[in-house]
Amino acid sequence: MGGYGMFGDPRRRRRRQAISRVLRFTFGALAVLGVGLYGYQVGISANQARSEQLEADLERLQRTNLELRDEVALVSKRSAEAGAALQSMRERYAAEMPRGEAAELLQKVRAQLAAGVEPERLAFLIEAAAQESCASAPVTKRFMPRTPISTGPRGFIRFDERIIVTGDGESARNEAGLAEAWYDPAKPIRLEFRTLDGSTTSIEGIVPFTHRMAVDGREYRFSVVRGEHRFIEVTAQACTLPDPAAESTASAQAVRTPGDALGTDSVVD
């Protein structure tokens, strides 16, 4: 009995050791397999997420590409419209640009404007030149309008020995606010056109302005502009009266009143 116990213990130990090794190997293999399965599952999930992200990016890029195509088409359309508009402007400019004698005349008009000639006066002279019924050339004269503090005789001018023009204006003021003896061109003036029969037509306004009146079967056309310092310039032209029944017309307020002789007024041509 004692000998059997001595031989039985080593066997049991070897058997237990073998079983232990098998169990450890089995547990290790199961652990490795579990880790592998977990890693495989994680890899599949990551690949699926990556695939979904790539698909979303691809869809977004496709939408962006379509939007860019629409924008390119719109820009191309607007560019074509702008090119057509520019070409139309060039053609219109080429058609309207004066050439030859018209270009030379335009240069002369610009030179006169740059020299200080009033645009209204140039327009009046050009219009007068186109009137075939106006045999006489325009005549320009000047005078100093009378002001409330003027001390000398009233200035006037005479046209064709038929019409006398005189006028009144408000006094200009110096830097101190004191009234001067000459008129203020920025304020209204009142002009009187007096004929030989004593009738008077009065107009009032701020220069420049125009006036027409019929006298002895002729139509007199006047252009009133600001002249040199202290002066008013009046340009007149006598033309054949288009309508004998025509009445005097003015660009400003007109009033007809009976007039007296001018007396001892002075003339400034």
Residue-wise pLDDT for 51-71, tens only, equals: 888 888 888 888 888 888 888
The residue with tokens 């200035």 is 155
Tokens of 65: 């590409």
| C-alpha–C-alpha distance, residues 208 and 185, integer Å | 10
Is residue 269, in this structure, part of any structural domain at all? no
How many separate domains does the chain show? 2
Is residue 108, in this structure, part of any structural domain at all? no
Helices (H) and strands (E) in the chain — how many of each?
Answer: 3, 13
H or E segment to which residue 211 belongs: strand 209-215
Q: Do residues 245 and 186 share a domain?
A: yes
Q: Do residues 86 and 25 share a domain?
A: yes
Condensed to tens digits (0 to 9), the pLDDT of residues 118-171 reads 787 677 667 655 555 676 788 999 998 999 888 878 889 999 888 999 999 888
Model confidence at 83, pLDDT cuts 50, 70, 90, reads: confident
| C-alpha–C-alpha distance, residues 133 and 25, integer Å | 132
Q: Do residues 136 and 214 share a domain?
A: yes
260: exposed, middle or buried (C-beta count within 10 Å: 0-12, 13-18, 19+)?
exposed
| C-alpha–C-alpha distance, residues 49 and 72, integer Å | 34
Strands 179-183 and 171-173 come out as antiparallel
203: exposed, middle or buried (C-beta count within 10 Å: 0-12, 13-18, 19+)?
buried
Model confidence at 248, pLDDT cuts 50, 70, 90, reads: very low
Q: Do residues 158 and 41 share a domain?
A: no
Q: Do residues 144 and 64 share a domain?
A: no
Please state which of the ranges 133-137, 183-187, 195-199 shows the lowest mean pLDDT: 133-137
Is residue 178, in this structure, part of any structural domain at all? yes
Q: Is the pLDDT of residue 191 over 90?
A: yes
Q: Do residues 142 and 252 share a domain?
A: yes
H or E segment to which residue 245 belongs: none
Residue 191's nearest CA partner among 140, 241, 142, 128 is 142
The residue with tokens 């994680």 is 42
Q: Do residues 3 and 91 share a domain?
A: yes
What is the pTM assigned to this prediction? 0.46
pLDDT computed for residue 156 by the predictor: 92
What is the average per-residue pLDDT within 219-235? 88
Is residue 105, in this structure, part of any structural domain at all? no
112 contact partners, CB below 8 Å, separation of at least 6:
122
| C-alpha–C-alpha distance, residues 225 and 245, integer Å | 28
Condensed to tens digits (0 to 9), the pLDDT of residues 17-36 reads 888 888 888 877 787 787 77
pLDDT computed for residue 167 by the predictor: 92
What is the average per-residue pLDDT within 98-123? 76
pLDDT computed for residue 268 by the predictor: 47
Q: Do residues 4 and 38 share a domain?
A: yes
Is residue 110, in this structure, part of any structural domain at all? no
What residue numbers bound the domain in which 89 lies? 1-97
pLDDT computed for residue 159 by the predictor: 92
Q: Do residues 255 and 159 share a domain?
A: yes
The mean pLDDT of the chain is 78
Q: Is the pLDDT of residue 203 over 50?
A: yes
| C-alpha–C-alpha distance, residues 145 and 172, integer Å | 12
Q: Put residue 215 in one of left, alpha, beta given phi > 0 → left and psi -120 to 50 → alpha.
A: beta
Q: Do residues 133 and 10 share a domain?
A: no
Is residue 111, in this structure, part of any structural domain at all? no
Model confidence at 13, pLDDT cuts 50, 70, 90, reads: confident
What is the average per-residue pLDDT within 86-90? 84
- Nearest 10 degrees: Cα torsion 174, 178, 181, 187: 70
